[in-house]
């Protein structure tokens, strides 16, 4: 896992911009539908568990785009190579149910019509089902079987729909303003990751736009055995390794191979350089591409570089 920065506001390529604005329109419409479905169920007889009709083509479309443009053909969590066809769109905050270990978090809300208190199991972050900040391309190993699935461990209670007064709303920074209910004034859904993270304190790391204190680059260390361990005793890093199964035997082997491939490519590059007129920019670009997470297992390869080659002078 390597932290990757992505800000759609910085896109300049006309094709990328075209895709992004069209996708956002679809995502916004689907989010309204998801919230409406929940609120309809809430005021209905509730004789069946809440279940949403999700529009999976929308998040699949984004997943394919992210694999092409942000996480080059690799799983955002384990950095294994995947193609667009095989990968899943993984919801960092699960869209249809939440588990904290084996437990399903309980939550309480006041009924939108008569105000009585309703206790229920957290239904999942359905309002984030089409939020790009919550969608990451993932391999099937990280997102099924012994992988993450519906797990979202947090130190604090999981956020759900809340009633907010105008004064409370005003106190929330503009860029974190929650989504308003479709049917009932005064009810809101938090969706900005900054705000949700602050409230919930997730116990797993997110590779997309991580905040510096929880950046996988800072908290995960890769050994030459291919194994990954927490740095600085981080409980979040430890939980991340466990939830995503990052020390799976096959993954460790693949990381070792990626480190070996890095070494060969690095020395091939050095050999190609003209000793009388070395192109340092070429070497720097090679390292920068790994630092940007452009290759499978970039984090493990960079660790290898840091350990073995930081003392090796670059061509003068």
Based on the shown chain and the rule CB under 5 A, indicate whether residue 89 belongs to the binding site for Zn ion. no
Q: Which of 70, 75, 205, 254 binds Zn ion (CB under 5 A)?
A: 75
User: Between the CA of residue 251 and those of 4, 72, 85, 228, what are the distances in Å?
Assistant: 20, 18, 20, 10
Q: How far apart are the first and last CA of the chain?
A: 33
Closest CA to 189 of 168, 166, 161, 167: 161
Based on the shown chain and the rule CB under 5 A, indicate whether residue 76 belongs to the binding site for Zn ion. no
Q: Could you tell me which stretch among 36-44, 78-86, 227-235, 261-269 binds Zn ion (CB under 5 A)?
A: 78-86
Question: What whole-number distance in Å separates Cα of residue 152 and Cα of residue 306?
Answer: 32
User: Between the CA of residue 316 and those of 54, 113, 282, 287, 307, what are the distances in Å?
Assistant: 57, 74, 13, 17, 21
Closest CA to 66 of 142, 143, 137: 137
Q: Could you tell me which stretch among 79-87, 102-110, 167-175, 177-185 binds Zn ion (CB under 5 A)?
A: 79-87
Q: Which of 78, 89, 97, 208 binds Zn ion (CB under 5 A)?
A: 78
226: left (phi over 0), alpha (psi -120 to 50) or beta: left
Based on the shown chain and the rule CB under 5 A, indicate whether residue 77 belongs to the binding site for Zn ion. yes
CB 208 within 8 A of CB 92: yes
Question: What whole-number distance in Å separates Cα of residue 124 and Cα of residue 160?
Answer: 8
* Edge-first strand listing for the sheet containing 162-163: 162-163, 187-189, 179-180
Smallest gap from Cβ 221 to Zn ion, in A, equals: 19
Of the pair 66, 78, the CB lying nearest Zn ion is at 78
Smallest gap from Cβ 312 to Zn ion, in A, equals: 32
Based on the shown chain and the rule CB under 5 A, indicate whether residue 4 belongs to the binding site for Zn ion. no
Question: What whole-number distance in Å separates Cα of residue 1 and Cα of residue 75?
Answer: 9
Which positions from 7 through 36 interact with Zn ion, judged by CB under 5 A? Answer: none
Of the pair 84, 157, the CB lying nearest Zn ion is at 84
Q: Which of 58, 66, 70, 139 binds Zn ion (CB under 5 A)?
A: 139
Smallest gap from Cβ 251 to Zn ion, in A, equals: 8
- CB count within 10 Å of CB 310 equals 7
Based on the shown chain and the rule CB under 5 A, indicate whether residue 258 belongs to the binding site for Zn ion. no
Q: Could you tell me which stretch among 31-39, 69-77, 109-117, 121-129 binds Zn ion (CB under 5 A)?
A: 69-77
Of the pair 142, 203, the CB lying nearest Zn ion is at 142
Based on the shown chain and the rule CB under 5 A, indicate whether residue 128 belongs to the binding site for Zn ion. no
Closest CA to 292 of 302, 277, 278: 302
Question: What whole-number distance in Å separates Cα of residue 99 and Cα of residue 122?
Answer: 9
Smallest gap from Cβ 66 to Zn ion, in A, equals: 14
Of the pair 244, 266, the CB lying nearest Zn ion is at 244
Based on the shown chain and the rule CB under 5 A, indicate whether residue 239 belongs to the binding site for Zn ion. no
Of the pair 20, 59, the CB lying nearest Zn ion is at 59
Q: Which of 35, 66, 70, 142 binds Zn ion (CB under 5 A)?
A: 142
Smallest gap from Cβ 70 to Zn ion, in A, equals: 15
Total residues contacting Zn ion (rule CB under 5 A)? 6
Contact residues: Zn ion, CB under 5 A: 75, 77-78, 80, 139, 142
């Amino acid at each position: 896992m390597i932290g990757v920065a992505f800000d759609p506001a910085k896109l300049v390529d006309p094709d990328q911009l075209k895709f992004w604005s069209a996708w956002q329109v679809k995502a916004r419409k689907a989010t309204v539908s998801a919230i409406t479905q929940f609120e309809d169920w809430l005021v209905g007889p509730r004789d069946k568990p809440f279940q949403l009709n999700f529009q999976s083509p929308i998040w699949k479309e984004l997943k394919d785009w992210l694999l092409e443009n942000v996480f080059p053909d690799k799983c955002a969590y384990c950095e294994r190579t995947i193609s667009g066809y095989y990968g899943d769109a993984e919801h960092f905050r699960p869209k249809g149910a939440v588990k904290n270990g084996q437990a399903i978090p309980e939550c309480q809300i006041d009924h939108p019509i008569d105000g009585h208190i309703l206790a229920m199991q957290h239904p999942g972050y359905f309002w984030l089902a089409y939020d790009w900040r919550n969608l990451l391309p993932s391999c099937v190993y990280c997102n099924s079987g012994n992988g993450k699935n519906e797990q979202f461990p947090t130190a604090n209670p999981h956020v759900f729909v809340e009633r907010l007064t105008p004064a409370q709303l005003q106190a929330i920074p503009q860029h974190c303003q929650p989504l308003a209910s479709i049917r009932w004034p005064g009810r809101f859904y938090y969706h900005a990751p900054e705000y949700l993270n602050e409230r919930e304190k997730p116990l797993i790391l997110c590779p997309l736009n991580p905040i510096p204190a929880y950046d996988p680059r800072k908290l995960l260390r890769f050994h030459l055995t291919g194994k990954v361990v927490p740095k600085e005793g981080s409980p979040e890093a430890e939980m991340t390794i466990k939830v995503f199964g990052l020390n799976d035997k096959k993954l460790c082997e693949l990381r070792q191979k990626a480190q070996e491939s890095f070494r060969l490519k690095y020395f091939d590059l050095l050999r190609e350089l003209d000793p009388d007129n070395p192109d340092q920019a070429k070497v720097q670009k090679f390292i920068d591409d790994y630092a940007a997470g452009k290759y499978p297992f970039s984090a493990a390869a960079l660790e290898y570089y840091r350990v073995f080659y930081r003392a090796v002078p670059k061509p003068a």
